[in-house]
Amino acid sequence: MFAAVDLGSNSFRLHIGEPLGARMHIVRTARDPLRLAAGLDSNNMLTEAAMRGAVACLHDFRKILDEYHLDAVRVVATNTMRVAKNADQLLPQLEAAIGYPIEIISGEEEGRLIYMGVTRAIERQDERRLVIDIGGGSTEVIAGTGPEIHLVESFGIGTQPQARDYFPDGRITARSFDAAVTAARARFEDAASLYHAQGWDAAYGSSGTMRAISEVIGRNAIGDGTVSQASLHALRDILIELGHVEAFALQGVKRDRVPVMVGGLTVLIGAMQELKVERLHAVNAGLRLGVLSDLELRANRRDRRDAAIRSCMQRFRVDTQRALRTCGIATLLYERLQPQADSQPHYLAWSAMLHEIGLAISMSGAHKHGAYIVEHADLGGFTTREQRLLATLVLGQKGNLRKIREALVEPDLAKAVLALRLAVVLMHARADNDIGGLRLRMKGKIEIDLPPELLARHPTLAPWFEKEECSWNEVGISFQAR
């Protein structure tokens, strides 16, 4: 049984799910319409009131999670936490409240998870599909075939800023509505041709806002009763005639969600016009179901992050054989260092596979170039925090250690850095198949026993180990190679 917690810009939501064959049975749900994005001030700082509300919500969610025996829990935060300048101040409070680490995911990763959720619900393996998800602070558009994603983009436009900027006092006029739609179209126009090239058999809308719009259209027989461009424009005309969000009394949406729906409607009309989508289907699936599905994949040892690493290696033409050699020796050395917890092996292996990625830019300073690429590349399945960890390891593979001094405070991470540095040295000296007698320890200080025959067969190792001694001593860690 798995749990997914979505810290969205409009609402915080919780799903607890249990896989039943091809389906994910939702056991429990919870929702708090926090409107976190509305708590951003003009400087993109979350107000104290907004932060208090978020912390209180996660305290309540934790009580629900504690009622179940869960195999895995994943908490993801989206656009508002991505853009809030004081997110670092709020994040520890939120993690303490819910009792689990929180991943601030990229817009592209959000889009991938949304698509996974929609795919899990639809189960049409050969269907070419377009998925649009309009959130409180961003809109994700994904094109794919069956489970395979071809194109994913996150656009910085959502329901909250649209409502705030164009309907600040709740008044709805033709002028303000059309201005909002034009602004939305401008966001999508540059990418429209990329999506047109993909093509699709069906288009889907996956957000709560999308389902609210669909519900209003369907229950009130607006237009043709479906989410078509004609129906959306008919709903627009009704809203303009009413003139104010407080006057909206149609079935299908709660009064407090009307401003969100109006903002979302302008985004949806703009997106459908630019992408040339005549009609889409609202589905009750998206980010949370995608997170649950991803947890199930990881439990079954089908981690999307492995595929992301392979794709990145291919893109930057990494020498696979050298990467595998380095990965193998780094993993072996890390095991010999007897880490305290099983927290670093995957990240060490992934960073070893990418350790030469910077060569695509320049041989000089390749580890620095590589660290930048790894931290900022779009790696599906990885969080910002995880990519930063990989980048630290790639950066620390050679040269002085002062640049990652703070990371070395964590014992297992320091052991991972040591294992990768030594693996790189041994790989370059072609000694990676000749280390049966090498012994190493790292408990406060580093001690390495080097068999004399190893140094005799690989004479270039000696100067490398001398450099390592200087590098570790510079950061206050004693290094002794005997």
pLDDT, residue 342, reads 66
Q: Is there a shared CATH topology between the 2-105 domain and the 123-284 domain?
A: yes
Q: Residue 29: which H helix or E strand, with range?
A: strand 23-32
CA proximity to 10, closest of 89, 77, 63, 61: 77
pLDDT of residue 49: 95
d(CA 130, CA 271): 12
* pLDDT number for residue 208: 86
Cβ-in-10-Å burial (0-12, 13-18, 19+) of 222 comes to buried
What residue ranges do the domains of the chain occupy? Answer: 2-105, 123-284, 303-481
Q: pTM (2 decimals)?
A: 0.82
Q: Which CATH superfamily is domain 123-284 in?
A: Exopolyphosphatase. Domain 2 (3.30.420.150)
CA distance 236 to 238: 5
**10-residue mean pLDDT series, the chain (482 residues):** 94 94 91 91 93 97 96 94 94 96 91 93 89 94 93 93 92 96 96 94 92 93 93 95 90 84 96 95 92 91 88 94 93 90 82 96 94 92 89 94 93 94 88 78 88 83 88 91 79
What is the three-class DSSP state of 201?
A: coil
Q: Which two tokens stand for residue 77?
A: 């935060």
CA dist 134 → 10, 110, 141, 158 (Å):
10, 12, 9, 6
The CATH code belonging to domain 2-105 is 3.30.420.40
CA-to-CA distance for 38 and 160, rounded, in angstroms? 6
CATH 3.20.20.60 fits 303-481, yes or no: no
Q: What is the pLDDT of residue 303?
A: 84
C-alpha–C-alpha distance, residues 76 and 15, integer Å: 12
The answer to whether 79 and 37 are in contact (CB under 8 A) is: yes
The pLDDT score that the predictor gives to residue 207 is 83
